[in-house]
């Protein structure tokens, strides 16, 4: 038996609890993983908040979409994107069929399993892929390439900081919005920081007299959308993963799982191996803002829902 976190009702983090759960033996093309760390993402709490409906047939709901751990069992033909999976392998898992990562052990499809980069801790590795593939999607959607100047709203968060690192690797200049407390961290990664608030567009103009070529919004505020529209001439090079209330009327790209958004399924799937390779080579970092014991998932969700964690939040069984 394993310990797993479930949402027993729709509502806030107080509906979460730890329960005993059976661990299914892996069938063909599957692997069982002892979880060392499971990343928390906004989509996790949205699933039981009522944002996507309140179908009682979906309860109780297991939570968690990405993890890092050690393979404890494999079924026949258990091969992932990097090849054969063996018992004892240190791995990360994210992709179609990974659900219920908030657990001590879980069986997942082998095609969602990739090698854990040795350069990352268990906590960092668990948070590499979901934000990573989202970041790759934002850069692809806005056509970021060498020589571009990119404005990233929320650049100190999980998706924002990954997108910034990847954009810089592509040869772009990145200007990132963040609170003053995060500016030194952004400079460490090569990002030019700028504070939120009134006058943001003018401050960005001062930092980028040649103009802004593309903008990526990871926070969904009206300020982020308005400033992006004001500074980027081509609306096709503005994308949001959060500001869906404004995107359709503004003519900018909506990315993600919300109704009407571009899910970028193929881009995101292909990005996983690239992200693992970059992390293994020491070219991509994951900032962990906080860790919680598995049984304190509710507290972890409260921190993530507040929107100011400043990096990945991770559960450790």
Instruction: Kindly state the average pLDDT of the residues 118-145.
Output: 98
Place of tokens 């069982």: 32
Please state the rounded mean pLDDT for residues 56-79: 96
> What is the full DSSP assignment across 295-310?
GGHHHHHHHHHHT---
| DSSP labels, 222-284 | HHHHHHHHHH-S-GGGEEESS-HHHHHHHT-EEBSSSTTSB--HHHHHHHHHHHHHHHHTT--
Residue 51 pLDDT > 90? no
Q: How far is CA 38 from the centre of its chain?
A: 12
For residue 53, give every residue at least 6 positions away whose Cβ sits within 8 Å of its Cβ, in sequence order, or none.
Answer: none
Longest dimension (CA), the chain: 60
Q: Which token pair is 174?
A: 């990145």
DSSP character at residue 13: G
Please tell me the pTM assigned to this model: 0.95
Quickly state the pLDDT bin for 308 (edges 50, 70, 90): confident
Summarised one tens digit per residue, pLDDT across range 172-215 is 999 999 999 999 999 999 999 999 999 999 999 999 999 999 99
For 249-270, what is each residue's pLDDT tens digit?
899 999 998 888 999 999 999 9
**Does residue 132 register a pLDDT over 90?**
yes
Q: Are 2 and 105 in contact (CB under 8 A)?
A: yes
Q: Which domains does the chain have, with CATH numbers?
A: 2-128+286-316 (3.90.180.10), 133-254 (3.40.50.720)
Task: Of 128, 97, 114, 54, give the one whose Cα is nearest residue 286.
Answer: 128
Q: Mean pLDDT throughout 69-88?
A: 97
Query: At residue 110, does pLDDT exceed 90?
Result: yes
């Amino acid at each position: 038996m394993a310990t797993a976190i479930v949402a027993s009702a729709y509502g806030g983090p107080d509906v979460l609890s730890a329960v005993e759960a059976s661990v299914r033996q892996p069938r063909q093309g599957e692997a069982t993983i002892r979880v060392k760390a499971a990343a928390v993402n906004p989509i996790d709490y949205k699933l039981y908040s009522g944002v996507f409906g309140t179908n009682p047939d979906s309860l109780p709901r297991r939570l968690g979409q990405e993890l890092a751990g050690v393979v404890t069992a494999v079924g026949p033909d258990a091969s992932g994107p990097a090849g054969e999976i063996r018992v004892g392998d240190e791995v990360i898992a994210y992709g179609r069929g990974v659900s219920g990562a908030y657990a001590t052990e879980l069986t997942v499809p082998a095609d969602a399993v990739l090698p854990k980069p040795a350069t990352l801790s268990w906590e960092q590795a668990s948070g590499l892929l979901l934000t990573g593939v989202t970041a790759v999607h934002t850069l692809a959607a806005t056509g970021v390439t060498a020589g571009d100047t990119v404005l990233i709203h929320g650049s100190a968060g999980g998706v924002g900081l990954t997108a910034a690192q990847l954009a810089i690797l592509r040869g772009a200049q990145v200007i990132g919005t963040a609170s003053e407390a995060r500016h030194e961290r952004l400079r460490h990664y090569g990002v030019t920081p700028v504070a939120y608030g009134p006058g943001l567009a003018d401050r960005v103009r001062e930092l980028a007299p040649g103009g802004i070529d593309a903008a990526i919004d990871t926070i969904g505020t009206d300020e982020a959308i308005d400033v992006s529209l004001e500074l980027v001439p081509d609306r096709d090079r503005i994308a949001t993963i959060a500001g869906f209330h404004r995107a359709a009327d503004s003519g900018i790209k909506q990315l993600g799982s919300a109704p009407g958004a571009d899910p970028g399924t193929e881009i995101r799937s292909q990005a996983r191996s690239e992200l693992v390779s970059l992390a293994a080579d020491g070219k991509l970092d994951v900032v962990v803002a906080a860790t919680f014991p598995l049984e304190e998932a509710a507290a972890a969700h409260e921190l993530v829902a507040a929107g100011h964690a400043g990096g990945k939040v991770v559960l450790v069984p």
